Chains A and B, each alone.
Chain A
Amino acid sequence: MLRRFRLEEPESVMEVSELLGRFGESAKVYAGGTELLLAMKEGLVQYERLINVKNVKGLNEVAPDNGTIRIGALCTHHQLETSPVVKQKLAALARLEQNVANVRVRQVGTLGGNLCFAEPHADPGILLLALGANLVAERTSSKREISAEAFFVDAYETCLEADEVLTEIRVPVPEGKSGVAYLKFGYLERPSVGVAVALRADGGGKSIQDVKIAVGCAGPAPKRVLEAEELIKNRGVDEAKANLLKAGEVAAHAAQAISDLHGSQEYKEHIVGVLLKRAFQNALSQ
């Protein structure tokens, strides 16, 4: 049962930040509420105040801006899966959003809420890492841009300060002959393993000029795997393919897989390798 709480309804980011600063751990930002309200109903967390940010204007827009796509933190998953800009410029993100949770969650759950809750089995953070996204955090006194890599600290933990508000996600549009793939596997409601690959090949498609690899769901937080990227980057396609097995092993280790109901550590590590190989081939074929 949901216990009583006070609902604050600020209309600006500064007001939200001020409220967070004033009420500290007794208050929590409430956007879509798909994760937060479930946890509150279960009695796992209790807050005296929820700060409803849905009345804050300008946080639910998607707009191209000088080689990046700016996504307001309040954009819902449904908005992103159907956005013409996202579908055209960040097709992999649109596909990912089509498969987040279920239709009810996608209708009200927001990208910003998903990232801030940092549930270990969430999809979007993994792909955003591979896309090299930056997240904009604002507070009354400052504004900063945080790389997706630095944003996720641990299970359910981000690097946001107590009075900081995530306002925007800036995603660079992949350039040149590029391909992006996110693959996940799971048989429960949430994915057991997620792997994202974003690569850029040379004009003839014979070598991999750049690649970003990220893994998640298997462990506490999404991780970018630089060591696996080194095995693929600046190599001919054949050599890169030959290195995929090793890259998969490296990525599996980096995932910090945990044995749980989703599968054993060894099983998840194996799946990381399988998905990495498939995601690479998928990205390369685009």
Chain B
Amino acid sequence: MQFEKQVEISASKEKVWNFIWDVDRFIACVPGCKEAKTIEAGKLYSAIMIEKVGPFRVEFPTTIEVLERDELTRIKARASGADNKIGSRMKLSLDVNLREQGEKTVLGFVAGVDILGKLAALGHGIIKRKADQVLDEFAEAVKKRLEGDS
């Protein structure tokens, strides 16, 4: 499943960039994400992703690995996790880019999400819709948090 989102933020590129690397504040914008930890600053992080669709609940202990980093411009990362209770795995590839637009910054991201295992029985469409909702909420939360700071 491929998703592309873009959010325009009334903040400088530097401010947005610094925010992304402030793990606690950044993770607080990801719905259902908790217990974020830095394993190796700038390279490796861990967190627990919890998502719910009706009565179905998944909890993915997730490892996030930063693959590429172009200062103030781009971050490429990948994440993966498994919920052994329900026998499902999640894989995420993330390409984040920042672009100046006047006094604003456009934060764009392309996310590839794969859900494998029993959870897939819920149906591709339902999972896709949920992932889309999570990404929308995330983009909105980042915008709100950064613009609230200015």
Contacts and interface: CB of A to CB of B under 8 A. Distances in A.
Interface of A: 28, 39, 42-46, 118, 120, 154-157, 220, 258-262
Interface size class on chain B is 10 to 19
B56 A156 contact: yes
Contacts of A28: 55
A52 to B, nearest CB: 17
A44 B54 contact: no
Contact of B56 (A44, A120, A262): A44
B121 A44 contact: yes
Nearest to A257: B125
A156 B55 contact: yes
B121 A45 contact: no
Top-3 shortest CB links A-B = A156-B54, A258-B125, A260-B125
23 contacts: A39-B55, A42-B121, A43-B118, A44-B56, A44-B86, A44-B118, A44-B119, A45-B56, A46-B85, A120-B123, A120-B126, A154-B54, A155-B126, A156-B56, A156-B126, A220-B126, A258-B129, A259-B124, A259-B128, A260-B125, A260-B128, A261-B124, A262-B125
Contact of A258 (B56, B118, B121, B126): B126
Contacts of B53: 155-156
A260 B124 CA distance: 6
B30 to A, nearest CB: 20
B87 interface: yes
A259 B132 CA distance: 13
B122 interface: yes
A28 B54 CA distance: 12
B86 A43 contact: yes
A261 B126 CA distance: 11
B23 to A, nearest CB: 30
Interface in B40-93: 53-57, 85-87
Contacts of B57: 45
A44 B129 contact: no
A154 B54 CA distance: 8
